[in-house]
Amino acid sequence: MQYATMVDLIEQARLAGVRETEGVRDSLDDAFESWINRQDLREITDEEEETLRRAFAKGFANYYTA
């Protein structure tokens, strides 16, 4: 369930980046931060957590490079 939520948030971030919708990006960023802060991340390394954050941010790549 947690993995599916993470994948969904990453996909929503990618779509928000494509649409360049600032309000949506801000809301998704807040939702992702809230979600990741509620997780029991003892089973993943700091590097893996950073990879999740980079994957999420990649959804905004089209916006930031335009």
The count of other CB atoms within 10 Å of the CB of residue 56 is 21
Cβ contact 59:12 at 8 Å: yes
Nearest to 14 by CA among 52, 54, 62, 49: 62
Q: What is the predicted pLDDT for the residue at 60?
A: 61
Max CA separation in the chain (angstroms): 37
* pLDDT tens sequence for the chain (66 residues): 687 888 888 888 877 766 666 776 677 778 888 888 887 777 878 888 888 878 877 776 544 444
